[in-house]
Structure 1
Amino acid sequence: MDPRWVPPSPPWYKVNVDAAVFDQLNSVGVGVLIRDHEGSVVATMSKHLPLPLGPLEAEGKAMDEAFTFAWDIGVRDVVFETDSRTVFDALTRTITPPIAIANLIDGIHQKLHFFRATCFLHVLRYSNKPAHTLARYAKGINNFVSWIEENPPIIESFVIQDDMYLSSS
């Protein structure tokens, strides 16, 4: 498994998803990063949810939020990437979803038909660092913030690093 972010083949988009749990606030943060086959940032989102979820539930909720965000942005051929092995295995039906995320996984499976094509990938945490940074950023916001066709300053260094790697390949 490559530790670096790898772009999808056209016409696919990659949606990197992660969550962060803020125990003291009884809330979670969601980070979503959508990029095209050239590695260009199409859209990003940080969302703060006042839900007292554990790590697994937060990862499942983050994937659910990513589906809605990707649909709203207008991407229809999507590779969803998560660093949660359990969420990945549940989405690919490799395992029966744990009861804590079963309803979320069922809801996501129902949303699959909205898209032309979808697939799921499990990635190393290192490859998902921009999405995790966006999830952590949500701690300081009230609801959500999104950036369309621009790199948020908080992840710009990661995107530049990926661009340099892609250029040298």
Structure 2
Amino acid sequence: MTALASSYKSENNKTVEYGEWLKKIKLNPRIQCFWWRILNEAIPANDFLMKRRLLGHNSCPRGCVEQENTDHVMVHCSKLQQAIGTLRKWGFLCPLFSSINDCKFHLKILSEENKSMANLYCSIVYFTWNSRNQLKHGNNEWSVNFIACNAISYASISTSYLLMDHWDANQPSRLISFWHPPPPEWIKVNFDAALTNNNNGGIGGVFRDSKGRFLLAFGISCIRWDIGTLELIAIRSLKNFISNWMLDAKGLIVECDNLNIIKLLQRSKNNGSRNGFQEDIEDLSFLDGFGNFLFHFVNRNCNALAHNCANHALVQDFFGEDLNSNKVPPSFFYVLREQSDRISIT
């Protein structure tokens, strides 16, 4: 197939310029190989096969009523659009492109400015193509949820790369103004800290599942003088609230509204430091029980429930696993209801 593609390119005097940016994204090796092939027009899309007289038509097997060429596979396929829409519902603002040239141009930029977002897009195109191949060979296609979950997993953890950049770089803040549930069978925890002028501090967090359902919330009071230190204490405190049953989840997303803290956590994860002390590196070994875990920077509106917990902790400590318990602060219910209504959760 690669030889056929090379011959086809020579006949049409085409050149492919993708330089070093593909390597910078640090894709899973299988996905990187796929993208090398697609950028060299060396995948057996129906348009390619028809031009080589190996197929009698060039339409998309999904019924998109379009030619299935490289542009279609990389940008326009309806299944790809649905999968990207699913990612966006989960709070991952995967980019949308208008053409193959637009896609290449912005992926090159993202390879410098936001490798994680580029990795996510490349991964979801790869799994959408694999799903297409299932259909092509007479099997059932994968669901968009399955495609999106696999894209997140491969983008966050690969054999040679761990998440480094926050997901929402260069995205309009109006698009991320409210909390999103995590992917199916994942857990999301939001944490925050609050600090008064007299150095009374509070940290808080809330765990929720993929349907937005409450799992547990906590708040701890402490004395500190720096909000950054408080938020580090908040992430460290999660180890005290992670139960064994949570480890059965497919993954954990940790969110907060302090970009510097998220960068520190991602740097700690990327360095893989689990033994001994290193400056500016957090011990994240307590998260190793999760198959996948990633850190997500969000704006304050998305983190409102954790902020409520941190503020309540300024008054007293609390821990609750049941919304019917009087241990959960009353103001918590108002914020929870507001967020649930926003994402149509009852």
1:111/1:103 CA distance change after superposition, 3 Å: farther
- Deviation string 1:15-55 (CA, Å, 9 cap, x unpaired) is 0000112341x442111111111111110001112x32401
Gaps of 5+ in 2: 1-174, 272-277
TM-score calculated relative to the size of structure 2:
0.42
How well do the aligned residues superpose, as a CA RMSD in angstroms? 2.5
**Does structure 1 residue 106 correspond to structure 2 residue 278?**
no
Inter-partner Cα distance in structure 2 for 1:21 and 1:74: 32
Q: 1:105: Cα distance to partner?
A: 4.4
TM-score (norm 1): 0.82
Superposed, 1:1-169 pairs within 5 Å as 1-24=175-198, 26-49=199-222, 51-69=223-241, 71-72=242-243, 74-76=245-247, 77-93=251-267, 105-107=281-283, 109-141=284-316, 144-150=317-323, 152=328, 153-167=330-344
Contact 1:19 1:132 in 2 (8 A): yes
Q: Letter of the 2:205 partner, please give it.
A: V
Letter in structure 2 aligned against 1:68: N
Kept after mapping to 2: 8 A contact 1:80/1:121:
yes
- Aligned length in residues: 157
Give the equivalent residue in structure 2 for 1:99.
none
The CA deviation string for residues 91-125 of structure 1, in whole angstroms up to 9 with x for no partner, is: 111999xxxxx768422x22231333211100101
Q: Is the 8 A contact 1:31 1:134 kept in 2?
A: yes
CA contact 2:192–2:306 (8 Å) conserved in 1: yes
Please, which runs of 5 or more residues in structure 1 have no aligned partner? 97-101
Contact 2:179-2:339 within 8 A present in 1 as well: yes
- Indicate conservation of the 8 Å contact 1:60/1:105, yes or no: no
Contact 2:264 2:280 in 1 (8 A): no
More strand as a share of residues: 1
Q: Residue 16 of structure 1: SS of its match in structure 2?
A: strand
| Deviation string, structure 1 residues 135-161 (Cα, Å, up to 9, x no partner) | 0111111xx311113173221112111
Structure with more relative contact order (C-alpha pairs < 8 Å, separation 6 or more): 1
Hey, which bits of structure 1, 4+ residues long, moved more than 4 A? Answer: 102-105
Indicate if the aligned counterparts of 2:267 and 2:281 stay in contact, CA closer than 8 A.
no
Structure with the greater alpha carbon radius of gyration: 2
